[in-house]
Amino acid sequence: MAHSATTPVAAPLSIPVIPMRELLPWALFAGLMLLMAIYFVGAEQGATALFHGTAVHEFLHDGRHLLGFPCH
């Protein structure tokens, strides 16, 4: 009895195409979140502050220095 060695043939992988109409709202949302993060880490103190006091500054203080934003 002879055994035939058969190897399964893998189907080629296809990369799904995402239409720009579906991608654009998520890209705008991510860009807005990025701008908000940069503002709060880099500029939330002084004349441009949206919140009174130093709570936001102190909460983000170490991250500010880690990213290279001076604050002292």
Confidence of residue 3 (pLDDT cuts 50, 70, 90): low
Instruction: Provide the token pair at 61.
Output: 């203080």
Q: Say if CB 59 and CB 71 are below 8 A apart.
A: no
pLDDT at residue 1 is higher than 60: no
Count of Cβ atoms closer than 10 Å to residue 49 Cβ: 13
Distance (Å, rounded) from C-alpha 16 to C-alpha 67? 35
Distance (Å, rounded) from C-alpha 11 to C-alpha 13? 6
For 26-43, what is each residue's pLDDT tens digit? 999 999 999 988 887 777
Q: Residue ranges of the domains in the chain?
A: 20-66
Confidence at residue 4, expressed as pLDDT on a 0 to 100 scale: 64
